[in-house]
C-alpha cells in the first residue's frame, strides 16, 4: 500500500491544526506503509518515508485582485501535483487547497480518493473577508470533492453530522477518525527562563490562548472578556497569522483597549513559537482557553491537556467530544439559533461567559491541577496517533479493493 497525501501545510510550513494533523499522520503511517507527501513550499526529501516534495507557485504575472491570488496559486500547485507522475494506491486530501489536485488524481490516474474534513467552508462565512469571490469558488470546490470522494473522514461526530446535513453523501461513506497527540512530545515541561523571553511573569497565574487570528478562533471575544476577569489575572496570547488586515487592526485595538484599563495585563506573542517553548507555555498556564465559534476538532485542546492544563472551551464542534465538563475543564455555551454560530453569537454575553468560566478555575489551583491530571490521562487513553494511523490504513485498504 502506498498513499499520496496532498496538503497545503507541511513542516516547516505549519500554521494550523490541519498541518499538525498531516505532520503526525504521515509520520505514523510511514511505520505501516509507503507515504508520499506533496505540499505547498520548497520541501524536498524524495528518498525518505515519508517522501516529501514541495511545490511553489509563480504568481509574478498574476493581475487578479489580491484576495484571489491564493486561490489561483492553490490551483496552480494542484495541477503541478499531477503533472509530476503519480504512483500510489490511494490519494488523501487535506483542506480545500488540495481538493482540485485530488480530483485530478482520481479522474486522470484512477485513484480512490479519501478526503479528511478539517473544517467546512459553508460554516466559515467570514472567509469571504479574506478571499472575496474566491470564497464562492472554494465552497463549490469543497462540495464537488466531498461528493466525489470514495471515503470522507470527519474529525469528530459533530463534523460527520454537518457533512451529512450539507452534502449529498451516503452515510456509509463518512467515517469518524479523531485527531491525535504525541504524549511523549507534549508532556509537562517547566522553564521560567522561556517565559521571561516572551515577557510572561512566572509569578502571576495566567490563562493561555494559542492559535491564528481569525474569526473562527474567537480570539477577539477572549480579549473582550479580559475586562471581566478577576484582578491580577495574566492573559497570554500566542497568536499570529491574521487572516486579513482588518482583523489584525481589530485585534490590535482590542488588546490596546484591554491593556489601558486598570489591571490590564495581556502579553501578546505574535511570532511563531517553537514547539518546545509552546509546550512550556502550556505547562505553566493555569488555564487554557479555546473561544472558537467554529471548531470541528481542536488539536490545541489535546496539546494543553497533554501538558496537564485544564481547558475552558466554547461548547461547539469536536470540543464537546474532547473536554469532559467538570473533569478536564469547562465548556461555555454559544447561542445557536441558526446553522451558523457566527450569526447566532451574542458577543457581549459570550465574553462574560468566557470570563466566568476562566475565573471559576483560576480561583481554584487545586481543582485545576486535578483537572490537568485527568486531562492527560484522557489523552493517553483516547487520542493516539498510532491508533489513528491504523484506522486510516484500514480505510485505505477498504477503498482500494
Does pLDDT of 52 surpass 70?
A: yes
If 0-12 CB within 10 Å is exposed, 13-18 middle and 19+ buried, where does residue 262 land? Answer: exposed
CATH 3.40.50.2000 domain residues, the chain:
2-180+384-399, 192-382
* Topology annotation, domain 2-180+384-399: Rossmann fold (3.40.50)
Q: Are strands 44-45 and 51-55 parallel, antiparallel or unpaired?
A: antiparallel
Q: How confident is the model at residue 69 (pLDDT cuts 50, 70, 90)?
A: very high
Contact predicate 68/128, CB 8 Å:
no
What percent of the chain is modeled with pLDDT above 70?
Answer: 97
pLDDT value for 259: 87
In tens, the pLDDT along 300-335 reads 999 999 999 999 999 998 999 999 999 999 999 986
Q: How confident is the model at residue 226 (pLDDT cuts 50, 70, 90)?
A: very high
Local structure of residue 62 (DSSP, 8 states): -
For the chain, the average pLDDT equals: 93
pLDDT value for 341: 53
Domain 192-382 class in CATH:
alpha beta
pLDDT value for 45: 95
Q: CB neighbours of 171 closer than 8 A, spacing ≥ 6? A: 164
In tens, the pLDDT along 250-259 reads 899 989 988 8
In tens, the pLDDT along 255-287 reads 998 888 877 789 999 988 999 999 999 999 999
Does pLDDT of 149 surpass 90?
A: yes
In tens, the pLDDT along 197-224 reads 999 999 999 999 999 898 889 999 999 9
Helices 134-148/99-109 angle, 10° precision: 40
What percent of the chain is modeled with pLDDT above 90?
Answer: 83
Does pLDDT of 125 surpass 90?
A: no
Q: How confident is the model at residue 243 (pLDDT cuts 50, 70, 90)?
A: confident
Mean pLDDT on 113-136? 92
Does pLDDT of 389 surpass 60?
A: yes
**Chain-centre distance of CA 296, in angstroms?**
8
pTM for this model (two decimals)? 0.86
Q: Is the peptide bond before 50 cis (omega within 30 degrees of 0)?
A: yes
Amino acid at each position: 500500500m502506498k498513499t499520496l497525501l496532498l496538503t497545503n501545510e507541511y513542516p516547516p510550513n505549519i500554521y494550523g491544526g490541519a498541518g499538525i494533523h498531516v505532520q503526525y499522520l504521515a509520520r505514523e503511517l510511514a511505520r505501516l506503509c509507503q507515504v508520499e507527501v506533496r505540499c505547498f513550499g520548497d520541501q524536498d526529501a524524495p528518498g525518505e518515508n515519508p517522501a516529501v516534495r514541495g511545490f511553489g507557485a509563480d504568481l509574478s504575472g498574476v493581475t487578479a485582485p489580491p484576495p484571489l491570488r491564493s486561490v489561483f496559486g492553490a490551483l496552480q500547485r494542484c495541477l503541478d501535483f499531477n503533472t509530476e507522475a503519480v504512483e500510489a494506491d490511494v490519494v488523501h486530501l487535506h483542506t480545500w487547497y488540495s481538493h482540485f489536485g485530488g480530483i485530478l488524481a482520481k479522474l486522470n490516474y484512477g485513484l480512490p480518493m479519501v478526503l479528511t474534513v478539517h473544517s467546512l467552508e459553508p460554516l466559515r462565512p467570514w472567509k469571504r473577508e479574506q478571499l472575496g469571490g474566491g470564497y464562492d469558488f472554494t465552497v463549490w470546490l469543497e462540495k464537488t470533492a466531498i461528493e466525489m470522494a470514495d471515503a470522507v473522514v470527519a474529525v469528530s461526530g459533530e463534523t460527520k453530522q454537518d457533512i451529512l446535513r450539507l452534502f449529498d453523501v451516503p452515510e456509509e461513506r463518512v467515517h469518524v477518525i479523531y485527531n491525535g497527540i504525541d504524549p511523549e512530545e507534549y508532556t509537562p515541561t517547566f522553564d521560567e527562563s522561556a517565559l521571561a523571553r516572551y515577557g510572561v511573569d512566572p509569578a502571576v497565574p495566567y490563562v493561555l490562548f494559542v492559535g491564528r487570528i481569525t474569526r473562527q478562533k474567537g480570539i477577539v471575544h477572549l480579549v473582550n472578556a479580559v475586562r471581566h476577569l478577576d484582578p491580577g489575572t495574566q492573559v497570554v496570547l500566542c497568536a499570529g497569522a491574521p487572516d486579513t488586515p482588518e482583523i489584525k487592526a481589530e485585534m490590535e485595538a482590542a488588546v490596546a483597549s484591554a491593556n489601558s484599563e486598570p489591571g490590564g495585563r495581556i502579553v501578546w506573542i505574535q511570532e511563531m513559537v517553537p514547539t518546545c517553548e509552546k509546550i512550556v507555555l502550556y505547562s505553566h498556564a493555569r488555564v487554557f482557553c479555546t473561544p472558537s465559534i467554529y471548531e470541528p476538532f481542536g488539536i490545541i485542546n489535546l496539546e494543553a491537556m497533554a501538558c496537564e492544563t485544564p481547558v475552558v472551551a466554547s461548547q461547539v464542534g469536536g470540543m464537546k467530544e474532547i473536554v469532559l465538563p467538570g473533569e478536564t475543564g469547562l465548556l461555555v455555551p454559544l447561542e445557536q439559533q441558526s446553522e451558523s454560530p457566527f450569526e447566532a453569537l451574542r458577543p457581549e454575553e459570550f465574553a462574560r461567559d468566557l470570563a466566568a468560566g476562566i475565573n471559576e478555575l483560576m480561583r481554584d489551583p487545586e481543582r485545576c491541577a486535578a483537572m490537568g491530571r485527568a486531562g492527560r490521562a484522557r489523552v493517553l487513553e483516547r487520542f493516539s496517533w498510532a491508533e489513528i494511523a491504523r484506522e486510516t490504513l484500514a480505510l485505505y485498504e477498504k477503498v482500494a479493493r
